[in-house]
Amino acid sequence: MGRAGLLIVDMQNDFIPGSYPGASLTVPGAESCVAGINAIRIAFKDAGGVIAHTQDSHPADHCSFYDNHHGAEMFSIRSIPSPDGGKMDQVMWPRHCVKGSRGHEFHDHLVVETSDLIQPKGRDPAVDSYSGFFDNLKGRSTGLADRLQAQGVTHLFVVGVAYDFCAGSSAIDGASCGFKTYIIENLTASVGADTAAAMKEKLAEAGVVPIAAADVQTYLRDVGAHDVAPIGPTKKDSIDHSGLARRYSSTSPNFASY
């Protein structure tokens, strides 16, 4: 008999439209995921599951911030020194989720309990970390896999933002760590249609199973044979990633390879 884990990825103010006036890297539709995530976590708790969050926790001198690189343009891709002495391509993001800032905090309406696992990521100024499990070079583990395994988690369900970057990367790495991994597509939101399509292919290749929130009860019963309470209504009953408006300008690069 297994145990389910709900991994809530980066539901932080800087990524969620309307969270506060200075939100710097908002993902379209992220705000409408909050109520659905709050509703679905009740089912996981009732099923004896584990609730975990990833939290982007960047230092002010982080390598991904465009304004830390002289002459860099926001959303461009720049070759920068990597920790192993070579070079790596890095998207030049706006400053976001700086530890201790308002943007670093979880959204005000997101339910976070003291029993939840909180996994910071992106703390190394020299390398980015989309995934909650590893940095982008796969050179260092965050320890999340060990923490989940210590709680007996065997099946991992991923929600949050962004589908095409951090949520998708976390799902792929969760599968690589041996968890049977699902991504609840209508409780995610994407930066853009092109990157979402590319991530969908990568998720399929990794064996990550796409499901909808309405199907979660069935999967939870399969995991642990627990009685599962009904899940409340969500604000996002479906999502068509291909129809999402591109978040950034037409001059922004194609991030499909990331």
State the virtual CA torsion across 134, 138, 140, 142 in degrees, nearest 10. Answer: 10
Identify the active-site residue in 33, 166, 173, 200. 166
What is the distance between the alpha carbons of residues 20 and 109, in angstroms, rounded to a whole number? 12
What is the distance between the alpha carbons of residues 228 and 235, in angstroms, rounded to a whole number? 21
Structure tokens at 239: 């999502």
DSSP string for residues in 4-73: EEEEEE--BGGGSTTSSTT--S--TTGGGGHHHHHHHHHHHHHTT-EEEEEEE-B-TT-TTBGGGSTTPP
Structure tokens at 145: 């896999």
- E-strand stretches of 57-133: 77-81, 87-91, 117-121
Q: Is 10 a catalytic residue?
A: yes
Residue that the structure tokens 């998207």 belong to = 91
Sort 78 into a burial class: Cβ within 10 Å, 0-12 / 13-18 / 19+.
Answer: middle
Q: Does an H or E element contain 184, and which?
A: strand 180-189
The residues that bridge with 126 in the sheet, in sequence order, are: none
Q: Is 121 a catalytic residue?
A: yes
Identify the active-site residue in 33, 56, 63, 121. 121
What is the distance between the alpha carbons of residues 212 and 121, in angstroms, rounded to a whole number? 27
* Catalytically annotated residues: 10, 121, 166
